[in-house]
Amino acid sequence: MLAGAPAAEDEVTDVNFALIATRIKRDERNAKLGRLQRRGTRLLIFVGLLLVTLNFLCCIAYLLVSLTQQT
């Protein structure tokens, strides 16, 4: 094929199949990467909200303790 000789139909079919298979695999990897990125983003948002909630609870506990010690 590379030497300039005409390619057989079977060889052309094999090359086309390989190109299509490569494209499908690349699309699958890109889709998987996109899912992992979305999952990571959701995880970071969840952890951030969890930290905000824990901080709020600690502040409320500190406020209640300080109010009960004033009397």
Using one digit for the tens of pLDDT, what is the confidence trace for 1-36? Answer: 556 677 788 888 999 999 999 999 999 999 999 999
pLDDT at 8: 83
> pTM score, two decimals?
0.65
Torsion of CA 62, 64, 70, 71, to 10 degrees: -150
CA distance 16 to 10: 10
Contacts of 7 (CB under 8 A, 6+ apart): 1, 15
CA distance 61 to 70: 15
CA distance 19 to 25: 10
pLDDT at 9: 84
- For tokens 């901080």, what's the residue? 55
The DSSP call for residue 21 is: H
Mean of pLDDT values over 33-42 = 98
53 pLDDT more than 90: yes
pLDDT at 38: 98
